[in-house]
Amino acid sequence: MAPTSKELPLVAFANRLPVVKARDGWRAADGGLVTALRPALEKRGGAWVGWDGGTSEVPRRVEDLGAIRLHPVQLDRKTLDGYYHGFCNRTLWPLFHDLIEQPAFNRQWWDAYVEANRRFAHAATTRSKLLQETIRWVHDFHLMLLPSMLRPAKEKGPIAYFLHTPFPAPELFSRLPWSKELLNGILGSDLVGFHTDLYRDNFLRSCETILEDAKVEGTRVHTSDGRSVLAATHPISIDAQEFASASTQPDVERELKRLRTQFEGRKVLLGVDRLDYTKGIRHRLKAVELMFERNPSLRRKVSLVQIAVPSRDDVKEYRDLRSDVEGEVGRINGRFTEPGHPVPVHYLYRSVPLHRLLAYYRLADVALVTPLKDGMNLVAKEFVVAQAAGSGSGILLLSEFTGAAQELKQAIMCNPFDVEGLASHIEDALEIPEQQRRDRLSAMAGSVHNHDVFDWTNEMISDVEGMT
Ligand code: GDG
């Protein structure tokens, strides 16, 4: 679709506002979405609508977000519990990740989800600054009803929606008692974006089988109110140039030197994940245990560093996961640590600063990116870019059930459910000749540089621009 000559301002809608309160005041939050949208928001002018995190003092602007206006949405405790902790984290998240855990269905959570989406819509329709013509871009599974709630004000410009998680097959999605409502909510958009063709096709097949009054033709859905909605594949990426340049800064080099001394004489396997059951950490640890069990010689030669960023620890499944992971780490170290030698598994239950994360990326001989299901997985992209920038030759072991596997074809692909196979893949990865490792890495880093996060933003915007 050809862009119109007039560049419309952009209003982003996401669960959270892109700011955090630091000791010395408010600043922009770290995170892929802020990085992705900031240039377009700054260039076109724009605003961000998001939950205020429970504090009423969020400023309307923060210095490092330039002219971007912040529009906080307030949610009372009960609505937040039902909407976020309940429907988002305990219903949609497991359902959209192929039922790795069982989703819970609860009508009060659903009511709270509807109410929270209404509050976002209300925030947009009552603020005079947001009443001008804009591109409205709604993000993720938290706000699936919002596009249709924004639709009545159609003079305000086109609506885009992007789903950051997978979209499940219709056979799974239709188990949700509110599957119709969610599809109709998303179909309030003009453009619906997904990471992969599979997720896009699952969405289209769901529209076809679940909605009686919608007609699917190719990648378009014709709605009963006479509109045509485009479903498109636009895989998210990272700011590759910035990651590459940050990876060789003096603070990273210093940290890397320290880590190389610490792990001298050992090959390093690396896992970096939010502590989430979708990320396959339990299966990964079992595979590492099996590897040590059947290769006693590797016990002094290989270490696993697992960074597990605390996440959703108010949900039982996440607390259980933490205790399983910590039990498994304890068991492996108890079984395989040799007196006078370092432990085989270094487990960090925390978020590390970016320069340290980059040093770990550069240190690793093999990155274990083995989710059971993952919309994209940015760690995989960050790893190959950081390694290539530091002239490394690390191997990426990548689950075939990630969106990233559709792009990073030179990774060693694995099925993380197959623990024995995964152990064999790790053993084999440690033996890959250097030239082959370098060739694989440079092809993958090249593909991330060729399609970075700004391409993603521009493609979504240029698809939706002029669609009204
Ligand atoms: C959702 C979808 C999709 C991790 N540990 C540390 C740290 N991180 C940063 C990484 C990366 C980000 O967190 C994680 O992004 P992922 O894509 O891997 O995973 P989700 O959080 O599940 O994100 C996912 C994504 O949305 C985007 O659409 O790819 O599929 O689930 O950027 O670098 N950052 C720092 N310290 C850490 O310890 N500084």
Mean pLDDT, consecutive 10-residue segments, the chain of 468 residues? Answer: 63 94 86 83 90 88 88 96 96 97 97 98 78 88 97 82 98 98 98 98 98 96 95 96 97 98 97 96 98 96 96 89 97 95 96 96 98 97 98 98 98 98 98 97 98 95 84
For 309, residues 6+ apart whose C-beta sits below 8 A from its C-beta are: 273, 274, 275, 350, 351
Q: Which residues of 261-273 are buried (b: 16+ CB within 10 A; e: fewer)?
A: eebeebebbbbbb
CA nearest to 224, candidates 189, 177, 187: 187
Q: Retrieve residue 201's tokens.
A: 């096709």
Mutate to test the pocket of ligand 1, among 377, 385, 402, 460 (most ligand atoms within 8 A of CB): 377
Known catalytic residue: 164?
yes
Question: Which one, of 314, 256, 257, lies nearest residue 84 by Cα?
Answer: 314
Measure 69 CA to ligand 1 centroid, in angstroms: 25
Whole-Å CA distances, 89 to 120, 213, 290, 324, 424: 18, 30, 32, 20, 34
Closest-CA residue to 47 (of 12, 14, 72, 73): 12
- Local structure of 284: helix, strand or coil: helix
Threshold 0.75, pTM exceeds = yes
Q: Which of 71, 139, 164, 283 is catalytic?
A: 164
Beta bridge partners of 137: 12, 160
Ligand 1 centroid from CA 273, angstroms = 7
Q: In the prediction, which pLDDT does 129 show?
A: 63
**The pLDDT value given to residue 4:** 45
- For the question of residue 273 being annotated catalytic, the response is no
Closest ligand 1 atom number to CA of residue 276 = 22
Residue nearest to atom 33 of ligand 1 (CA): 379
- Looking at residue 91, what is its pLDDT? 98
Coil/strand/helix, residue 226: coil
Token output for 161: 């929606």
pLDDT score recorded for residue 194: 98
Region class of 341: left (phi > 0), else alpha (psi between -120 and 50), else beta: beta
Q: What type of residue is 311?
A: S
Residue 76 has φ and ψ, to the nearest 5°, of -70, 165
Task: Decide: 20 in ligand 1 pocket, CB within 6 A.
Answer: no
Our measurement of the distance from residue 51's CA atom to the centroid of its chain's CA atoms, rounded to an integer in Å, reads: 19
Task: Please give the Cα distance from 313 to 89 (Å, whole number).
Answer: 11
Catalytic residue selected from 190, 374, 452, 463: 374
Q: Is 116 in the pocket of ligand 1 (CB under 6 A)?
A: no
Question: What is the distance in angstroms between the CA of the first residue and the CA of the last residue of the chain?
Answer: 11
Ligand 1 atom with the smallest distance to the CA of 32 is 32
What domains does the chain contain, in order, with CATH numbers? 10-237+454-465 (3.40.50.2000), 240-450 (3.40.50.2000)
